[in-house]
Structure 1
Amino acid sequence: MAAIYTAPLTRFPRGLKIHGLNLNIECNAELSKRAGDARPTNRRPGTITSSTSRKMLEQNTVCQAATEVRSELDPDPNADLRQGIADFYDASSEVWEEIWGEHMHHGFYDVSAQDVSLCDHRAAQMRMIEETLSFAAVPGEDESKRPKSIVDVGCGIGGSSRYLATKYGATVKGITLSPLQAARANALTAAASLSNKVEFQVADALNQPFPDGQFDLVWSMESGEHMPDKEKFMKELVRVAAPGGFIIIVTWCHRDLLPGEVSLKPSEQELLDKICKAYYLPAWCSPSDYVKLAQASSLQDIKTADWSDNVAPFWPAVIRSAFSWRAIAGVLRSGWKTLKGAFAMTLMVKGYKQGLIKFAVITARKPA
């Protein structure tokens, strides 16, 4: 019999799946409204309302309880890290969406771009998706060769998932550690009339709830940096990829070590450690480390690129947007985890300028 968790004040949104727990959880109308489901309204679908904060705090209580139950049932060394990641995105996703929209990743810019507007930044985020697909040579013109089944590993609130589903007419499964993100992603998807194609659930990228060989395209946009076991992460991406399927990883890395180096400089490691504490990251790796993992998995057509110059305008833009009154209010409302992340943004800029942080793209195909 399925275990039943009932919250005293509120419950999870309908349809929210949590991999690793058999939770039979119902929905109340209040939280469905908070998630922004597709009810008739004169506001833009998915728009945040003034009552969102209070409702978010209510749901966070339930989300935390469920995560703690999951940790008790499945104890492991990375449980605290997973909890921290989930809590961080539960707390910060609302303010990010309010300022930056549905895409929770870097934008791709012309290297000569200067003084671009917020609209330009949002366009750059969608350009990042297109540039990544082009780099990986994912078919788009020939309908018979387009990916028909996609997994978005570390899906955020589903921006990439909905974009890919619309572009290819594919079905998309998105997974995240954040219950709030999964609920919000499903609500925005319903508002976009894509629920028949796109679905989100809470699950661990290192233990995905999918059968072997299910997906033509395995998509990981800026989630690899959260993975405590990069080897297991790669193996899991390969496992769920269909024969001949594309595997795409876009992630934060540290620079490759120079000949004769056995580690980063102490000052470099100190900077990365500070960023790790703010964004709940385990140990970093280099682009070359990912290539070696892909080779060890016998992947084909392995390609990698350093797009650090192309994302250079992004973090300064995020910092500027954080100083608007609207953003300041949102960050303070979201709590200490989001505030700590905001302070760490200057560390990201410093890391990029030093050449320490690399924005890497790694693509490959599983043998047919």
Structure 2
Amino acid sequence: MLDSGASDSEEAARAYYATSDVDAFYDAVWGGEDIHTGTYARADEPVADASRRTVEQAADRVSDLLHSGSSVLDLGSGYGGATRCLAGRFGCRVTALNLSEPQNRRHRARNAERGLDHLIDVVTGSFHDIPWPDHRFDVVWSQEAFCHSGDRARVLREAVRVLRPDGALVFTDTMAAEDASAEALRPVVARLGVEALATPGFYRRTLSGIGLSRIDFDDRSEQLTRHYERITDETRRHEQELRRVISPGYVDSLLANLPLWHAASRRGDLRWGIFHCRA
């Protein structure tokens, strides 16, 4: 049974991602495929291109485990950009576990359009209670999903539980700096429905405590600043277009909240990067 923190965060995430406003925003500004932080080669690079680069570079870290006979679990798979990338590049089977059924319907449709539905299973469910037995997957993958959890230690325990002994956990997440004030970040994270963000130190300590000894964190926090600058700029540039397809209140909330993320990353209160972990 979930505790109140985990269940409340699930309800907040489910409600947030169930709206057509969110879909339209990610289509217009993010490209509608990957909905996580990008790795930028230049300041004006399209958000979609930078976001796909993050997927490719995270996949490089576990490429030794990925082939036609391997299995991947994507926790919080969103619209399925990463699952299609992995299945298409490596021919591996990918199971996508995601809380939002509207996102999952869209995910399944795009898999079919790309001819990848035979390699990808999309399951509606919670990463707080992963519905598979121990040691089931070669790779457990996640991108900017753990920040939505109200019980991240539980999510990590579940992720490691279903990982094969010689497998790997690779994930990205938006985190707080070790010395950042939770109070100062509260207005920033309000839309996530959680009280606070994890820190890189929390992830290191927790993963070490549940049996992973090789924990590599590639700190790319400077990319977070660039990413939120690009997202804020693109939202402003598309504002009138967005107001034709999104409720005005949602556009207003974006224009109020996104600069808070940009400012927090610029003053060093946020962290982001790629974790690659093995036993």
Taking structure 1 as the reference length, the TM-score comes to: 0.69
Corresponding position of 1:178: 100
Corresponding position of 1:331: 246
Find 2:30's aligned residue among 100, 111, 115.
100
- Per the TM alignment, residue 238 of structure 1 is displaced from its structure 2 partner at its CA by 0.2
Distance 1:199 1:342 in 2: 36
The Cα offsets for residues 287-346 of structure 1, whole Å up to 9 and x where unpaired, read as 01101111101113211121011343211111122121222333326x64x753442111
Which structure is larger by alpha-carbon Rg, 1 or 2? 1
Q: Does 1:271 align with 2:184?
A: yes
Q: Is the 8 A contact 2:62 2:168 kept in 1?
A: no
Question: Which fold has the larger relative contact order, with Cα–Cα distance below 8 Å and residues 6 or more apart in sequence?
Answer: 2
Label 1:293 to 1:75 Cα distance change in 2 as closer, same or farther (>3 A).
Answer: closer
Q: Is the 8 A contact 2:71 2:138 kept in 1?
A: yes
Query: Residue 313 of structure 1: SS of its match in structure 2?
Result: helix
Counterpart mapping for 1:316-355 below 5 A: 316-323=229-236, 324=238, 325-332=240-247, 336=250, 339-355=252-268
Corresponding position of 2:56: 130
Query: What amino acid sits opposite 1:327 in the alignment?
Result: L
Q: Does 1:198 align with 2:123?
A: no
The Cα offsets for residues 32-80 of structure 1, whole Å up to 9 and x where unpaired, read as xxxxxxxxxxxxxxxxxxxxxxxxxxxxxxxxxxxxxxxxxx7751333
Aligned length: 273
Specify which structure has the higher proportion of helix. Answer: 2
Label 1:321 to 1:132 Cα distance change in 2 as closer, same or farther (>3 A).
Answer: same
Label 1:213 to 1:365 Cα distance change in 2 as closer, same or farther (>3 A).
Answer: same
Q: Is the 8 A contact 1:226 1:282 kept in 2?
A: no
Q: Is the 8 A contact 2:8 2:150 kept in 1?
A: no
Query: What amino acid sits opposite 1:329 in the alignment?
Result: R
Corresponding position of 2:155: 233
Corresponding position of 1:208: 130
Query: What amino acid sits opposite 2:94 in the alignment?
Result: V
Query: Residue 200 of structure 1: SS of its match in structure 2?
Result: strand
Label 1:167 to 1:241 Cα distance change in 2 as closer, same or farther (>3 A).
Answer: same
Percent identity, aligned pairs only, is 22
Query: What amino acid sits opposite 1:104 in the alignment?
Result: I
Counterpart mapping for 1:61-72 below 5 A: none
Alignment RMSD: 2.1
Query: What amino acid sits opposite 1:213 in the alignment?
Result: H
Query: Residue 18 of structure 2: SS of its match in structure 1?
Result: helix
Q: Is the 8 A contact 2:169 2:277 kept in 1?
A: yes
Gaps of 5+ in 2: none
Gaps of 5+ in 1: 1-73, 258-263
Corresponding position of 1:358: 271
Dislocated runs of 4+, deviation >3 Å: none
Query: What amino acid sits opposite 2:156 in the alignment?
Result: M
Q: Is the 8 A contact 1:109 1:311 kept in 2?
A: no
Corresponding position of 2:40: 109
Distance 1:320 1:365 in 2: 38
Query: Residue 350 of structure 1: SS of its match in structure 2?
Result: helix
Q: Is the 8 A contact 2:224 2:271 kept in 1?
A: no
